[in-house]
Chain A
Amino acid sequence: MDFVEALGARMEDIASACTQCGKCFQACPMTVPTGIAEADPKHVLAGIVDLLRGGNGNAEAATWAAACSSSGYCIEACDYAVNPRTMVRLAHFASVKRHDGDEVKSNAMKSFRGMAKAVRVVSRLQLDSAEIDRLQPPPRKVAPATSPDVSFYTGCNAHKTPHILILCLEVLRAIDVSYEVIGGPTACCGVFQFHSGDAETSGRAGLSTLEQIKALGAREDIAWCPSCQIQFQDVIIPNHKMMSQGDEFSLTPFFLFLERHLDRLARVFVHPVRKRVALNERPGEPEVARAVKRILAAIPGVEFVDLDVQRVGLMSNYLTVTPRFKDDLREAEFRAAANAGVTTLATVYHACHRELCHFEKTVTFEIINVMEIIGESIGVSADDIYKRLKMMDDVESMMTECGDLLRTHHLDPNDARDVLLADQLAARPLQGSIVEADNSAQ
C-alpha cells in the first residue's frame, strides 16, 4: 500500500464513520464569518462526505472546508468518535485536488518553495552561520553516537522567529535534557503540499521527515509546531502505520513535555518575573494551553490573567482567510488585555507571535512569547530580532539593519527585499484565498 492509497482508504473509513448529524458544523466558529451559519448542518456534512468520496460536494461544504481554522471545537462536539477536524481537512484536500487537477503538483512545489525561500531568507537575516547550523542542521548521515533524551522537531516557519527556538533549547539544557534538533524546510511535515492537494509529494516529504526523526534514536520525539503536530497526527502517522503494518510513532507537543517535567523546571525557576500576564490562547491544542498555564503558574512573580474573549484558530495565520474576523478577534483581545491591566500579552506559537508582536507599539502592554517569560525565570534570554525588524515597518530600514548578514549569507538583496515585503509587511494565508462573507464584518 502506498501513501496515496493509504490516504484514500482513511478518507473512505472516515466518510463511512460520519453519521452526518451536523453537530461539528454547529460547533464551528468559522461559519459566521464565512456566511454559512444558516446552512442546514446535515446538508453541509453530506457535502463533506461526498468530497471525501471524490464527489463535488456542495458550495457550503467547500466553503466550510476551505475556511477550517483547526480550532478543534468540532472534536468535542462529535458523539461518534470521528475527528471532524481531520475529516474537514481531508475534505478540503479532496476539494482542492478535484478543483486544481493537473496543477496540484506544480502548485505544491510553488507553495513549498515559497515557504522554504522565506524561511531561508528571514532566518538568515537574523542569525550567523553557526546559529543557523545549530537550529537547522542538515539531515544527518549517521545516527548520533549516543541516543539523545529527545529529538526536538521545530518545523519550518518557526525559524522565522528563532529567538523562540533558541529559548526552547536553553530550557531543555537547563533541565538536563539532551537533544538533537531537526527542522527547517529539509524536515517538512508535508502540510504545504497537502493544502495544495498533492498527496504524493506531501507523503514523500512527511514520511522522509518521520524517518529522519526516527533515525535520531531519541527516547522521545517532541515537536514545537502545532501545524506539524496536526499534519503528523492527522495524515502522516496514520498513513505510515497503515503502510508499515502497525509501526508506532508519536510526537509530543513541546509544552506537554515541559509540563511533564514541571518538577525539574520549577527547580530552575529561580528569578521572579514580575509580570501580569494574559495568554494569546489558541483552542486548537487545548492540552497545550492548559500546560502553558500550569508552567506559568509555577513561575515566581507571574500573575496570570484569564481573558474572557472568543478563541479561534490553531494559530493566528489560520484566520488569514477571514481577515476582518481576525482583526475583530485581535482587537477584542487587546481591549480585554488593556482593561485587565496586564503588563504582558504572551503568544504561545510562532505564527501568532509573527502576526502580533509589532502591535506592541500601539497597545499599553508588551507582546512577547511565553518562552521569553520561562527563559527570564531561568535566567536566559534571546533577542527577538524578528520583532525589532518588524516594528521598523519599512523594508529599507530592515535591509540596512541586516546588511552584514545579507552579505555573510550571500543573499540576493532583491530576493531578500521581496521576502521581507511579503513575509513581514503582509500576511500570507496558509489555507488559500479569502473566503470571508461580504457582510460578515462586525
Chain B
Amino acid sequence: MPKIRFIGIDGEMAEVDAVEGASVMMAARDAGIRGIEAECGGALSCGTCHVYVAQPYQAMLPQASAEEQDMLEFVAAQREAGSRLSCQISMTANLDGLTVRIPDSQS
C-alpha cells in the first residue's frame, strides 16, 4: 500500500496507508486526520480539503482540472504553488511517500 504523510497544523507528521485508486482526502478521513474537513465528500463543491503538496510530488501529479482550479480560487487559506484539493488526488503506487501539509484553515 502506498503511504501518505500528512503534516498537521502543529507540525506533527502522521503517516497513513492509502488504498490505490482512492483519494488522499478519503485516506485522511479514514485515518481521522484533523484539518481536512471535506464537507462535500469529494463532489468538488466546497474547497475544504485543501492541502499543500510537497516537492517532488507536485510535478508527479496530473494537472488540476478546470473545476479544481475554480475551487482553489476560493480556499480559505493562502493558495500556494503546491495547493491542491486532496479529493482530486488519486493515490497510485508511484506516489508512495506523498507528503502534504494541511493549511491552518479550511473554511
Contact = CB atoms under 8 A, between A and B. Distances in A.
Contacts of B43: 186, 188, 204-205, 208-209
Interface in A192-226: 193, 200-201, 204-205, 208-209
- How big is chain B's contact interface, by range? 20 to 34
Given A112-B46, A113-B48, A116-B46, A185 B39 contact: yes
Nearest to B41: A186
Interface string A241-266: 00000000000000000000000000
B45 A193 contact: yes
Is the contact region of chain A dominated by helix, strand, or loop, or is it mixed?
helix
B40 interface: yes
Contacts of B46: 109, 112-113, 116, 185
B74 A186 contact: no
B42 to A, nearest CB: 7
Interface stretch (B53-61, B65-73, B90-98): B65-73
Contacts of A113: 39, 46, 48, 107
B50 to A, nearest CB: 12
Interface in B31-54: 34, 37-48
Given A105-B74, A120-B39, A201 B45 contact: yes
B1 interface: no
B22 A188 contact: no
Contacts of A117: 39, 107
Interface in B1-45: 19, 22, 26, 29, 34, 37-45
A188 B39 CA distance: 10
A272 interface: no
Contacts of B73: 105-106
A432 interface: no
A19 B34 CA distance: 55
A410 interface: yes
Nearest to A138: B29
A187 interface: yes
A385 to B, nearest CB: 22
A139 B47 CA distance: 17
Contacts of B37: 116
A105 B107 contact: no
Given A105-B70, A105-B73, A204-B67, A185 B40 contact: yes
Nearest to A139: B41
A395 B70 CA distance: 37
A188 B34 CA distance: 22
Given A109-B71, A113-B107, A205 B40 contact: yes
A185 B39 CA distance: 6
Contacts of B42: 139, 186, 208
Interface in A102-141: 105-106, 108-109, 112-113, 116-117, 120, 138-139, 141
12 contacts: A105-B74, A106-B74, A112-B40, A120-B39, A139-B41, A185-B39, A185-B40, A186-B41, A200-B67, A204-B45, A204-B67, A205-B40
For the complex of A and B, the 3 pairs showing the least CB-CB separation, nearest first, are: A186-B41, A116-B39, A208-B43
Interface of A: 105-106, 108-109, 112-113, 116-117, 120, 138-139, 141, 185-188, 190, 193, 200-201, 204-205, 208-209, 410
Given A108-B45, A112-B46, 18 more contacts: A105-B70, A105-B73, A109-B74, A112-B45, A116-B37, A116-B39, A116-B46, A116-B48, A139-B41, A185-B39, A188-B40, A188-B43, A188-B45, A200-B67, A200-B70, A204-B43, A208-B42, A209-B43
